[in-house]
Chains A and B, each alone.
Chain A
Amino acid sequence: DTGVSQNPRHKITKRGQNVTFRCDPISEHNRLYWYRQTLGQGPEFLTYFQNEAQLEKSRLLSDRFSAERPKGSFSTLEIQRTEQGDSAMYLCASSLVAGAGELFFGEGSRLTVL
């Protein structure tokens, strides 16, 4: 297991287009988190799953953002009708329930909206 995997690593898109990012967590981890990081800021929590259940989504930035984890394994984060302000690094992390504060991060997916 090589750790948390994210793809694509980089995505350039035009304003108004939809984008989807994928995250494959560490296989035995049942918690999966999405964060956004902009320049000069720390990671900002967006949402998280325990197995396939999305237990917190009120921190998603707008209704254009949605996330799924249909089988409790990989997850996708979709941004519809992208705006220039969505340009950021999107980080995925996973953890065991017992170690909920100990997150294992992926390398991130960098989004650039033109």
Chain B
Amino acid sequence: AQRVTQPEKLLSVFKGAPVELKCNYSYSGSPELFWYVQYSRQRLQLLLRHISRESIKGFTADLNKGETSFHLKKPFAQEEDSAMYYCALHSGGGADGLTFGKGTHLIIQP
């Protein structure tokens, strides 16, 4: 069975500080990993996907198959980054939908 673990329910950092939201997964095949974000009073939306290997809003995430991790990082946090962040796994070619972690609430303090 596939599983996504986000160990931090809440992460609070000061503006300008680096941010790292942790995500570990369990899956026997080759997964596709995603980060979704939900800003206050907005719908859940895709932030980035590992196969794109791009930086979105200053965030990057690298898939580490050895450590089965997909941590989300940003070097300098901004107040508008405050949101709920969900890591998600897709089995890639499988029929199921995404498997989400429980989410991390990121708060950027001024």
Q: Which residues of A contact B (CB under 8 A)?
A: 3-4, 33, 35, 40-45, 48, 55-56, 59, 91, 93, 100-108
B99 near A: Cβ within 8 Å?
Answer: yes
A56→B98 CA distance, assembly (Å): 12
Q: With contacts defined as CB atoms under 8 Å apart, how many contacts are there between chain A and chain B in the complex?
A: 58
B46 near A: Cβ within 8 Å?
Answer: yes
- A43 interface neighbour in B44, B46, B90, Cβ under 8 Å: B44
Q: Which residues of B contact A106 (CB under 8 A)?
A: 43
Output the nearest chain B residue to A101 by Cβ-Cβ distance: B90
B74 near A: Cβ within 8 Å?
Answer: no
B43 touching A56, Cβ below 8 Å: no
Q: Which residues of B contact A (CB under 8 A)?
A: 4, 6, 9, 32, 34, 43-46, 49, 86, 88, 90, 92, 95-103
Q: Which residues of A contact B6 (CB under 8 A)?
A: 42
CB within 8 Å for A55 and B95 given contacts A42-B86, A42-B103:
yes
A44 touching B43, Cβ below 8 Å: no
Q: Which of A3, A43, A59 has the most CB of B within 10 A?
A: A43
Q: Which residues of B contact A45 (CB under 8 A)?
A: 96-99
A105 touching B98, Cβ below 8 Å: no
A108→B46 CA distance, assembly (Å): 16
Output the nearest chain A residue to B4 by Cβ-Cβ distance: A42
Q: Which residues of A contact B102 (CB under 8 A)?
A: 40-42
Output the nearest chain A residue to B89 by Cβ-Cβ distance: A101
Output the nearest chain B residue to A105 by Cβ-Cβ distance: B44
How far is the CB of B4 from the nearest CB of chain A, in Å? 8
